Amino acid sequence: MRGIDIASYQQNIDFEKVKKSGIEIVYIKATQGITYKNPLLESQYSGAMAAGLKIGFYHYLKANDPTLEAKHFLSVIAGLLSDCKLVIDVEEALGQTIAKTSSNVRIFANYLIANGKEPCIYTGDYFYSNNLDNSVKDIPLWVAHYGVSKPDAANYIGFQYSESGKGDGINGLVDLDEFSSGIFISSIQPIPVNAIVKAFQHVVNLVGLVDKNKDKLIEDGIEGAHTNEVIAKILVIKGANNELVMWVQQRLIALGFNCGKTGADSYFGSNTLIAVKNFQISRGLKSDGIVGPLTITQLLK
């Protein structure tokens, strides 16, 4: 399966174009060390989810207390859903011995496991062979090696074969990967859920909409009673500016309705109004340009 991995370097990604180009999996950098968080994490996550891509997260390991780094990683991605194993990106010895670097990876991985998560290591072929010992070689491997048809490592579930790739929907360069089904949680492809519904649940949580019990939605991709309670409350009109507007725009664009040159910019302007009205006409709805429950229901299909 084709994949990409992204960080804050990749801005303004058109995830719909990414998916249409054949990419199935996107790994997003979440954290580094004990304080850094990718400033684009939420927007990249929302965009990837709206496009129906499989999602994973990675943490760039530094030379701090590995438990503190693991806690930071899990705290930042709390509430975000991942289809893929959580990745420990270890690329630098940072003056540490092989034993110390390996110990840090092992402690980090064990913390993930203790919290019900499945870990994976990302590193280069050379680093894996020369800077990590056997104490971590049982952890699934996503390996980088450029300019070759396959890496040196004998067993791996991910292969990053380029750090200078180009692709539809991406400005600039991006890492390119090939993954096996082992990259998924539980080493099998997860039970299919509706990625469009899951992305909708995420954005309504971001804008503070709640069900009748005043609870946020569980982001499970299932259009159940609680999700329908939130749908019934929605009223989005021209002039609105938030994550829910962006989701509406992403769905309109994905369904073939042009929102103007700025695309999914989160602002409900004149171009978005026209797109909404045209969409409503196409679905036999009243063409009033108001995104209410009936329009949302059609956008979820």
As annotated, the active-site residues are 5, 91
Sequence-distant (6+) residues with CB within 8 A of 38 are: 7, 8, 28, 29, 30, 31, 44
30, 78 in Cβ contact below 8 A? no
Question: Using CA atoms, how far apart are residues 150 and 56, in angstroms rounded to an integer?
Answer: 22
Q: Which of 260, 258, 244, 261 is nearest to 295 (CA)?
A: 244
Question: Using CA atoms, how far apart are residues 167 and 164, in angstroms rounded to an integer?
Answer: 10
DSSP code per residue over 238-271: TT-BSHHHHHHHHHHHHTT----TT-S-SB--HH
Amino acid at the residue 171? N
Question: Using CA atoms, how far apart are residues 53 and 236, in angstroms rounded to an integer?
Answer: 26
Sequence-distant (6+) residues with CB within 8 A of 201 are: 217, 218, 219, 220, 221, 227
Residue with tokens 């249409």, as numbered in its chain: 20
Q: What angle do CA 128, 134, 139 make, to 5 degrees?
A: 70
Amino acid at the residue 227? T
User: What would the two tokens of residue 204 be?
Assistant: 């309504």
